[in-house]
Amino acid sequence: MSLFRSAALAALITVGMTTGCTQQRAPIPEGGQVAQSSNTVGSGVVSGGVDSTGKYTGSDGVSRSGFKMLYFGYNRYRLDNGQVQRLMSDLPRIRQAAQGSNLRIEGNCDEFGTDEFNYALGLKRAKAVKSLLVSNGIPASKIAVVSYGESNPTCRANGAACHAKNRRVEINTVR
């Protein structure tokens, strides 16, 4: 093999290594990308977008018991200020419900991530919400937390906003 062809081939190999392999279609965006679309795809209306942390920015999610769903960024389990305000706006009704029933706080995740870590992430999200409720006067003994991981999606379509809708906590009453 000539020296020229060896050097050219080496250069080609180097270029190939730095550009990486062909990417499959990206199912979710990385942090920093913002999806602004309002669309209905598959099951579930997606009326909001996604912020730079991957958190759903819509305000349409409501649990079975009628309390606002709370949303989290990708791989995150702290409530940001907006979500804290969203929870506080429901606090009077939650307090009233807790007088007659127990509460179950259910943590959920998107479909990415792998088995145990996803369920633990969902649990951390539920625990963050419980902490805030306990800090605001609801007895800890009235609140149970559980993680459903990725088993309970509200949106099954492909797209960043749909995946973000599933990264959430739901507050429900139980007897």
Binding-site ranges for another protein (CB under 8 A) = 1, 3, 6-7, 9-10, 21-28, 30, 75, 104, 111-117, 119-124, 126-127, 130, 144-153, 158, 174
Nearer to another protein, 51 or 110 (CB): 110
List the alpha helices (DSSP H) in 31-150: 81-100, 115-135
- The C-alpha atoms of residue 22 and residue 40 are separated, in whole angstroms, by 29
State in angstroms the smallest separation of the CB of 94 from another protein. Answer: 18
How far is Cα of residue 44 from the mean position of the Cα atoms in its chain?
15
Task: Tell me the residue type at 131.
Answer: S
State in angstroms the smallest separation of the CB of 27 from another protein. Answer: 4
User: CB under 8 Å to 161, separation ≥6 — which residues?
Assistant: 35, 37, 39, 46, 48, 49, 50, 56, 58, 155
Nearer to another protein, 37 or 85 (CB): 37
State in angstroms the smallest separation of the CB of 51 from another protein. Answer: 18
Nearer to another protein, 8 or 85 (CB): 8
- The C-alpha atoms of residue 15 and residue 68 are separated, in whole angstroms, by 50
State in angstroms the smallest separation of the CB of 9 from another protein. Answer: 8
Nearer to another protein, 20 or 92 (CB): 20
Nearer to another protein, 92 or 135 (CB): 135
Centre a 10 Å sphere on the Cβ of residue 30 and count the other Cβ atoms it contains: 10
Pairing of strands 143-149, 102-108: parallel
State in angstroms the smallest separation of the CB of 77 from another protein. Answer: 8
